[in-house]
Amino acid sequence: MTTKSLIIPAAGSGSRMQKETPKPFLELSGATILEHTVRQFLSLDGLVQVVVATSDEYLSHANTILDKVLPEDVKGYSVSGGDERQDSIRNALAVLPDVDLVMIHDAVRPFVEAKRIVECCKEAQRSGAAILGVPAKDTIKRVDDSQFVEETPDRNFLWQAQTPQVFHKNVIVKAFEKAKRDRFSGTDDASLVEYLGRKVRIVKGSQTNFKITYPLDLDIARMLIEKKTG
Ligand code: CTP
Ligand code: MG
């Protein structure tokens, strides 16, 4: 059995959501989004640790959630996040134990399905790096500074990256070390592994695993939870 650690970045300010409370701590049917998200991972074999990165103000709230939901044999930690998501992950990587796989999953994707997490972990175990993603449904345009279209890449080769993004421990640790040395920044974790020169495999996920980003996403999340819980 492969041992696994789960890192959950939850330290963002949620500027696009425009709410006082950061997104992971907003409630959906009586529980925080963070709690719903962590629960999706609890049936996974080999889970030994969950690390949540939050702003200092929310560290104790995150600990309370972890104490409530984690079984005794899974260790929970919360660590201070950083200015960028990448900084938050870096702080979480600093407390990693000796594990085979590191899963990184956004706090604000509470609808990820357990069977997809398992598929992604299996692929990461085989190839070193695997992420969930879905084929782009819209045509994507690359634009210049003045919003003129420069290029329309063939949609058949475009995928939207989701999380979890899962890596052999040594792969993600090396990728973060190289990114720091070279001051490389990316908007997801896989891009740091790509920069390291390693191949990353995409495992097909589902539209359900969307990232709660805008107020409309929160409305959709509420509808989905109500449908699930009746
Ligand atoms: N995140 C983080 N540390 C940061 C920025 C983001 O841990 N410095 C986390 C968020 O809390 C979220 C995940 O990374 O769980 C995905 O980020 P995103 O959806 O962009 O959230 P925010 O950055 O909070 O939102 P926005 O970009 O609208 O400000
Ligand atoms: Mg953000």
Q: Which residues surround ligand 2, an ion (CB under 5 A)?
A: 12
pLDDT value at residue 228: 80
Q: How far is the CA of 95 from the centre of ligand 1 (A)?
A: 20
pLDDT value at residue 230: 66
Best residue among 61, 85, 87, 109 to mutate for probing ligand 1, ranked by most atoms within 8 Å of CB: 85
Peptide bond into 164 cis (omega under 30): yes
Q: How far is the CA of 45 from the centre of ligand 2 (A)?
A: 30
Q: How far is the CA of 1 from the centre of ligand 1 (A)?
A: 32
Task: Look up the CATH number of the domain holding residue 90.
Answer: 3.90.550.10
Task: Establish if 132 belongs to a structural domain.
Answer: yes
d(CA 137, CA 116): 20
pLDDT value at residue 50: 98
pTM (predicted TM-score) = 0.98
Domain membership of residue 189 as a residue range: 4-224
- The residue behind tokens 């996920």 is 205
CA-nearest of 91, 85, 120 to 106 is 85
The tally of domains found in the chain comes to 1
Task: Establish if 130 belongs to a structural domain.
Answer: yes
* Ligand (nearest to CA of 12): 1
- The residue behind tokens 């908007």 is 187
* Ligand (nearest to CA of 88): 1
Task: Establish if 190 belongs to a structural domain.
Answer: yes
CA–centroid distance for 197 within its chain: 21
In angstroms, the first-to-last Cα distance of the chain is 36
Atom of ligand 1 nearest to the CA of 84: 8
Task: Establish if 129 belongs to a structural domain.
Answer: yes
d(CA 51, CA 89): 9
Q: What is the pLDDT along the chain (230 residues), one digit of tens a residue?
A: 899 999 999 999 999 999 999 999 999 999 999 999 999 999 999 999 999 999 999 999 999 999 999 999 999 999 999 999 999 999 999 999 999 999 999 999 999 999 999 999 999 999 999 999 999 999 999 999 999 999 999 999 999 999 999 999 999 999 999 999 999 999 999 999 999 999 999 999 999 999 999 999 999 999 999 888 76
Atom of ligand 1 nearest to the CA of 53: 7
pLDDT value at residue 159: 98
Task: Establish if 229 belongs to a structural domain.
Answer: no
d(CA 101, CA 41): 14
pLDDT value at residue 79: 98
Task: Establish if 78 belongs to a structural domain.
Answer: yes
> What are the tokens at 175?
């990728």
Task: Establish if 200 belongs to a structural domain.
Answer: yes
Kind of pairing between the strands at 149-151 and 75-80: unpaired
Task: Establish if 230 belongs to a structural domain.
Answer: no
Ligand 1, atom 25, lies closest to the CA of 14
> What are the tokens at 220?
């959709």
Which residue ranges have their beta carbon within 6 Å of ligand 1? 9-16, 23-24, 53, 81-85, 88, 106-108, 211, 213
Contact of 129 with 122, CB cutoff 8 Å: no
